[in-house]
Amino acid sequence: QVQLVESGGGLVQAGDSLRLSCAASGRTYSNYAMGWFRQAPGKEREFVAAISWGGGDTHYPDSMKGRFTISRDNAKNTVYLQMNSLKPEDTAVYYCAVGPYRGSSGWSRMRYDYWGQGTQVTVSS
């Protein structure tokens, strides 16, 4: 069982930056990846970024490249999502998730087994 706790969300103005954290605890896989997703009201969940735990391999959809950066601190079992130049359309609940890493060519086949409760990010115009 893996527990994930997100933090760092809040209310910011357009153009601001925010860093989200996701702390993992419990039994994790020997080689796993962690991802960030978001879901805005009335919209489907959207993939934001992912990172392998050991190798630092990262993956972003094209729509997230440039303003969002995922990183991790293995010593703290924590993954971060740095968000810059925030826009009102970035308003959503942001979730982190963990699943077995499938290699750099396997991001499209990632399966996320455990999810956090989410942290709200609200960007005002």
pLDDT in tens, 60-85: 999 899 999 999 998 899 999 999 99
* pLDDT of 29 above 80: no
Residue 105 and residue 9: Cα distance in Å, rounded? Answer: 31
pLDDT value at residue 55? 64
Q: pLDDT per residue over 103-119, tens digit each?
A: 888 898 999 999 999 99
